[in-house]
């Protein structure tokens, strides 16, 4: 028998989980389909920005999240040359409550949000449920999904299908919407080592370490340090030939407190390769279907905002969609779904343009083995007040619309 619900969200990443939570909170019946059987993922966008923490605070979630899940707090973003450390963004004036990026593993953050969603009677999550096809009604409007779970095919009809299934979105591939690649200049290889109680805290949780021929990202999370080695796109083969000793030497030289721990890196196969491809989709919606997060626009790790853009898409989508979904008005649902791109498209495109510029610059630095920091970074890191200004400017792209009364005010809580 084919089941029917208000909304099917495909993909339990930050965008899909937050959207499902917000809709369920407002009394919408929502089924979240996640292909994996758990949320145990490493090396994802883990940096939750001050405006997103402020947004979660409105639901009483931010404080509990920060009190219960080990995380790092990055009050600054720094650029370290061999000679000098420049603070290029200073978030300390950005929010009265949360003047920092919280570096929280998605593996802990997502189950936390799902548990909150489960308190609402309209929410259901299906883990290990892999979306395979879109269903259409007689007029060609998307009308549900087909998915496979434990070897069994299911059909689920819905007033709206949301594709939140990330950078390789199957929902996008199954639709008639078209993606375009904007850039692919660099790849990043990630490695993680444990964090110990005596490690540096405060400044330096989020840093870019540079020297001729190397650009390395450093992220201090709750119980690990993530180290990201940047390569020109497609050069992982060369790294494999060169081996990991040059990378380990760099870490020992530049972050001596990690020296002994990096011995755990013995061969390139231990690195997790993330090819950085920035893409956008011409239209994020069509009748009965909406794409959010990386499914609609792949944000690169430059700036660490993929998680934030996905969650802000969810916040905007929930505001626009709740009322039409509760009324079950297909025409109004489609109008609201197309409004998400109208509200978010320009901010996303602006971020992607900045990322393309930065990535080209990084690729050039790697190829030319440039020493030191480029002039704008030296100026930004030396003139008092500029780092705070730069933080405020970059956070403008992360404005989160306040939740509508329909989401804040209703309670469909079951406990």
User: Which residues of this chain interact with ligand FAD, rule CB under 6 A?
Assistant: 10-16, 33-36, 43-45, 130-131, 164-167, 170, 274, 293-295, 299, 301, 304, 306-307, 310
Q: From the CB of 332, what's the least distance to ligand FAD, in Å?
A: 25
Half-sphere exposure of 397 (CA within 13 A, CB side): 23
Q: With respect to ligand FAD, which residue has the nearer C-beta, 27 or 44?
A: 44
Q: With respect to ligand FAD, which residue has the nearer C-beta, 130 or 283?
A: 130
For residue 83, the tally of other CB atoms under 10 A from its CB is: 9
Spatial contact of 391 and 89, defined as CB atoms under 8 Å apart: yes
Q: With respect to ligand FAD, which residue has the nearer C-beta, 105 or 403?
A: 105
Q: With respect to ligand FAD, which residue has the nearer C-beta, 327 or 353?
A: 353
Give the span between the Cα atoms of 279 and 98, in whole angstroms. 31
Q: From the CB of 35, what's the least distance to ligand FAD, in Å?
A: 3
Query: 3-class DSSP state for residue 65?
Result: helix
Bridge-based pairing of strands 289-291 and 285-286 is antiparallel
- Report which of 363, 386, 177, 354 is spatially closest to residue 283, judged by C-alpha positions: 177
Q: From the CB of 18, what's the least distance to ligand FAD, in Å?
A: 8
Q: With respect to ligand FAD, which residue has the nearer C-beta, 169 or 210?
A: 169
Q: Nearest 5°: phi and psi at 67?
A: -80, -25
Q: From the CB of 139, what's the least distance to ligand FAD, in Å?
A: 25
Give the span between the Cα atoms of 110 and 105, in whole angstroms. 9
- Report which of 22, 51, 33 is spatially closest to residue 320, judged by C-alpha positions: 22
Q: With respect to ligand FAD, which residue has the nearer C-beta, 183 or 299?
A: 299
Q: What are the Cα distances from residue 263, in Å, to 6, 71, 112, 194, 197? A: 52, 24, 33, 12, 19
Q: From the CB of 12, what's the least distance to ligand FAD, in Å?
A: 5
Give the span between the Cα atoms of 345 and 348, in whole angstroms. 5
Q: From the CB of 279, what's the least distance to ligand FAD, in Å?
A: 12
Which residues are 61's β-sheet partners? none
**Rounded to 5, what percent of the chain is helix, strand, coil?**
40, 30, 35
Spatial contact of 220 and 67, defined as CB atoms under 8 Å apart: no
Q: With respect to ligand FAD, which residue has the nearer C-beta, 57 or 130?
A: 130
Token output for 346: 């320009």
Q: From the CB of 271, what's the least distance to ligand FAD, in Å?
A: 12
Q: From the CB of 199, what's the least distance to ligand FAD, in Å?
A: 20
């Amino acid at each position: 028998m084919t089941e029917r619900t208000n909304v099917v969200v495909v993909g339990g990443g930050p965008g899909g989980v937050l959207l499902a939570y917000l809709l369920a909170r407002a009394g919408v019946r929502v089924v979240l389909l996640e292909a994996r059987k758990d949320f145990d993922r490493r090396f994802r966008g883990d940096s939750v920005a001050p405006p997103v923490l402020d947004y979660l605070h409105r639901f009483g979630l931010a404080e509990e999240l920060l009190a219960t899940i080990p995380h790092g707090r990055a009050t600054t973003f720094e650029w370290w040359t061999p000679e000098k450390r420049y603070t290029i963004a200073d978030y300390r004036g950005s929010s009265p409550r949360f003047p920092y990026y919280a570096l929280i593993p998605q593996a802990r953050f997502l189950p936390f949000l799902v548990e909150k969603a489960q308190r609402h009677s309209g929410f259901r999550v299906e883990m290990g449920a892999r979306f395979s096809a879109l269903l259409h009604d007689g007029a060609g409007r998307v009308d549900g999904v087909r998915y496979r779970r434990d070897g069994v095919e299911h059909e689920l009809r819905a007033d709206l299908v949301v594709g939140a299934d990330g950078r390789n979105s199957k929902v996008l591939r199954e639709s008639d919407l078209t993606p375009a690649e904007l850039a692919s200049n660099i790849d990043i290889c990630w490695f993680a080592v444990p964090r110990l109680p005596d490690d540096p805290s405060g400044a330096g949780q989020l840093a870019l370490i540079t020297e001729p021929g190397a650009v390395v990202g450093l992220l201090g999370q709750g119980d690990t340090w993530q180290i990201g080695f940047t390569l020109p796109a497609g050069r992982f083969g060369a790294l494999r030939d060169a081996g990991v000793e040059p990378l380990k030497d760099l870490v020992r030289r530049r972050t001596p407190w990690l020296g002994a721990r990096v011995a755990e890196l013995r061969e390139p196969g231990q690195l997790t390769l993330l090819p950085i491809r920035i893409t956008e989709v011409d239209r994020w919606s069509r009748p009965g279907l909406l794409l959010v997060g990386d499914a609609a626009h792949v944000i690169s790790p430059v700036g660490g905002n993929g998680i934030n853009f996905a969650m802000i898409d969810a916040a905007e989508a929930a505001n626009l969609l709740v009322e039409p979904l509760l009324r079950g008005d297909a025409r109004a649902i489609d109008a609201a779904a197309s409004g998400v791109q109208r509200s978010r498209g320009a901010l996303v495109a602006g971020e992607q343009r900045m990322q393309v510029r930065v990535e080209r610059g990084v690729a050039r630095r790697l190829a030319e083995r440039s020493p030191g920091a480029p002039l704008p970074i030296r100026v930004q890191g030396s003139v008092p007040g500029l780092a705070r200004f730069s933080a405020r400017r970059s956070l403008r792209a992360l404005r989160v619309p306040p939740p509508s009364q329909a989401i804040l005010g209703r309670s469909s809580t079951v406990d």
